[in-house]
Amino acid sequence: MNRQEWQEVEAAAALLGLGETATLEDIKAAYHRLSRKFHPDLATNEAARQRGEQEMYRITAAYSVLKRYCGQYRFPLKAPTQAKAADIYDPQDWWQARFGQDPVWGGNKK
């Protein structure tokens, strides 16, 4: 994953109130908890309904991001702390780090 994708995952985890690791069940539980809290059908007035709609869009988008990346296993919800390790998640950097010195795969012809 590249930096932008990590930022999306971290922001989604923060919005849903999740820790650094979570299972799919944890993510679903957080989504359902916030859905019950902000669902527009449960609002008592028009302003609360509109705010609920906005929150539901944000919560649903966060849930979609996390569901896409976490699957059925525990997955870190924070990017690696080392700048070099974070860059490895960019596909071109990953390839270069592993095969950059190889004359066949790295494009370095001798």
Per-residue confidence (pLDDT) for residue 105, from 0 to 100? 57
Q: Are 75 and 26 in contact (CB under 8 A)?
A: no
Residue with the bigger pLDDT between 31 and 20: it is: 31
Query: What span, in angstroms and rounded, lies between the C-alpha atoms of 28 and 16?
Result: 10
**What are the structural domains, with CATH classification, of the chain?**
3-97 (1.10.287.110)
**pLDDT, tens digit, 9 for 90 and up, residues 59-95:** 999 999 888 876 544 556 676 665 555 444 666 666 6
Helix axes of 3-16 and 24-38: crossing angle, nearest 10 degrees? 60
Query: What span, in angstroms and rounded, lies between the C-alpha atoms of 80 and 20?
Result: 11
Per-residue confidence (pLDDT) for residue 93, from 0 to 100? 65
**pLDDT, tens digit, 9 for 90 and up, residues 26-65:** 889 999 999 999 988 888 899 999 999 999 999 999 999 8
Query: What span, in angstroms and rounded, lies between the C-alpha atoms of 28 and 45?
Result: 28
Enter the pTM of the model. 0.62
Tokens linked to 71: 């699957």
